[in-house]
Amino acid sequence: MKKIFLLLLTASAVIVLTGCSSQSNNKSDSSSNSSSAKSNSSSSSSSATTKTVQLDAEDSTRLLTNSWKFDQFSIDQIKAEAEDGVLELEINWKNASDHATVFDDIGKVTVSQNGKELSITEQDDDYNDSILPNKTEDFELSYRYTGVDNPIKVSIHPTDTSRPTRTVTVQLKN
């Protein structure tokens, strides 16, 4: 009887100590996750990155390594293809506001080359779709560029102009 009691007491102590150790590991994991998230968000607001887009490539090129988070939306990915003098962008965004909205009401896309804004040559219907909160959608925009030697800047601006703009630079390559 004494042996069973000691065995149960030892087993209980091991379970309690294992549970406490697990909780402290979870706390350190979550603090390292939050510091990692902070570094990701701060890096996304840093200077523009440059991505190379191969002309006439079979597949589109992913331009973002991390999502760009704004107050009312996030940009999860921008894909680019270039052929016949046209840069086509596919932009995947998420509505982070508390109401259904159209992207154009909360954000703007600006594409420029040599300091001049490029005009949209084509825009798909999804650009004007009203998206529910926490839902994602993608839309495509096409721009005619003026040559392959000068890089193209793709910028996303929140409509609240006091918020920072995020930009990725595209270098076209033959």
Strands 136-144 and 61-62: unpaired
Question: What whole-number distance in Å separates Cα of residue 84 and Cα of residue 141?
Answer: 15
How far lies 154's CA from each of 5, 15, 108, 110, 126, in Å?
Answer: 71, 55, 11, 6, 19
Domain containing 10 equals 1-29
The two structure tokens encoding residue 5: 């009691």
- Please indicate, yes or no, whether residues 18 and 85 belong to a single structural domain of this protein: no
Q: pTM score, two decimals?
A: 0.71
Q: What is the pLDDT along the chain (174 residues), one digit of tens a residue?
A: 555 544 454 555 445 444 444 444 444 444 334 333 333 333 334 346 899 999 999 899 999 999 999 999 999 999 999 999 999 999 999 999 999 999 999 999 999 999 999 999 999 989 899 999 999 999 999 999 999 999 999 999 999 777 889 999 999 998
- Please indicate, yes or no, whether residues 24 and 63 belong to a single structural domain of this protein: no
How far lies 132's CA from each of 13, 68, 91, 109, in Å?
Answer: 51, 19, 17, 20
Number of domains in the chain: 2
Output b/e per residue, 114-140; b: 16+ Cβ within 10 A: eeeebeeeeeeeebeeebeeeeebbbb
- Please indicate, yes or no, whether residues 4 and 71 belong to a single structural domain of this protein: no
Would residue 44 count as lying in a domain? no
- Please indicate, yes or no, whether residues 116 and 66 belong to a single structural domain of this protein: yes
Would residue 156 count as lying in a domain? yes
* CB distance 134 to 128 below 8 Å: no
Would residue 62 count as lying in a domain? yes
- Please indicate, yes or no, whether residues 23 and 87 belong to a single structural domain of this protein: no
- Please indicate, yes or no, whether residues 105 and 160 belong to a single structural domain of this protein: yes
- Please indicate, yes or no, whether residues 59 and 94 belong to a single structural domain of this protein: yes
Q: What is the CATH number of the domain that holds 126?
A: 2.60.40.10
